[in-house]
Amino acid sequence: MSDTDLAQTDPKKLLWKELEDTRAGMLGIVGSGQHFQPMSHHADEAGRKLWFLTKRSTDLFMAIGPGSTAHFVLVAKGQDFHACMSGPITEQMDRAKLDEMWNPIVGAWFEGKDDPDLAMIVVTLDSAALWDSTSSSARFAYEIAKANMTDSDPDVGVHNVVNFA
């Protein structure tokens, strides 16, 4: 369950909390013409980075070039929090980070940490748009009914944009 108060007072803190609580999102390269792809992320709040492991042979990896920008879209488990983050995406091998990220699930996709097809990519966040909605079905129903009766928009949550740079 997300937190609409935190979405208003400290949206960055809420974003990092939701990134830690949600296993995967959708990653895409701006201007590549490709669909976004499901990817598991590793959040690095101190560095304002999202790390990913992928194969060099994927279309996603091959679309990354100098000056590339990525978008990463996250929908929380309860579907009461949504975010779209953006920033430059680059390949960056970091053995300590790889050791931190490695687990049996990751290992199922690669032939070990020295697999020549293994690539680490990182998005350094510039900005994020957040939408946090109420998880109260009673409040949601009330706001919808009120909006229909008054010809106004329902107030079911918070929208905020944060900048990291």
**The domain spanning residue 91 has which CATH number?**
2.30.110.10
**Side chain identity at 63, as an amino acid letter?**
A
Share of the chain above pLDDT 70, in %: 83
Share of the chain above pLDDT 90, in %: 69
CA angle 137, 152, 142 (to 5 degrees): 20
User: How high is the pLDDT of residue 78?
Assistant: 80
H or E segment and range at residue 81: strand 81-91
Mean pLDDT of 24-32: 97
- Per-residue pLDDT, averaged over 60-87, amounts to 94
pLDDT in tens, 121-150: 999 999 999 988 755 555 555 556 666 777
The secondary element (H helix, E strand) that includes residue 163 is strand 157-163
pLDDT level of residue 19 (50, 70, 90 thresholds): very high
Domain count, the chain: 1
pTM assigned to the model: 0.84
- Look up residue 108 and give its two tokens: 């199922």
The pLDDT assigned to 1 comes to 45
Q: Cα separation of 26 and 4, whole Å?
A: 23
Q: For residue 139, give both structure tokens.
A: 């409040």
For residue 17, the enclosing domain spans: 3-163
Please compute the mean of the pLDDT values over residues 21-35 and round it to a whole number: 96
Q: Per-residue confidence at 61, pLDDT binned at 50, 70, 90?
A: very high
pLDDT of residue 77: 85
Spatial distance between the Cα atoms of 126 and 165, rounded to a whole number of angstroms: 5
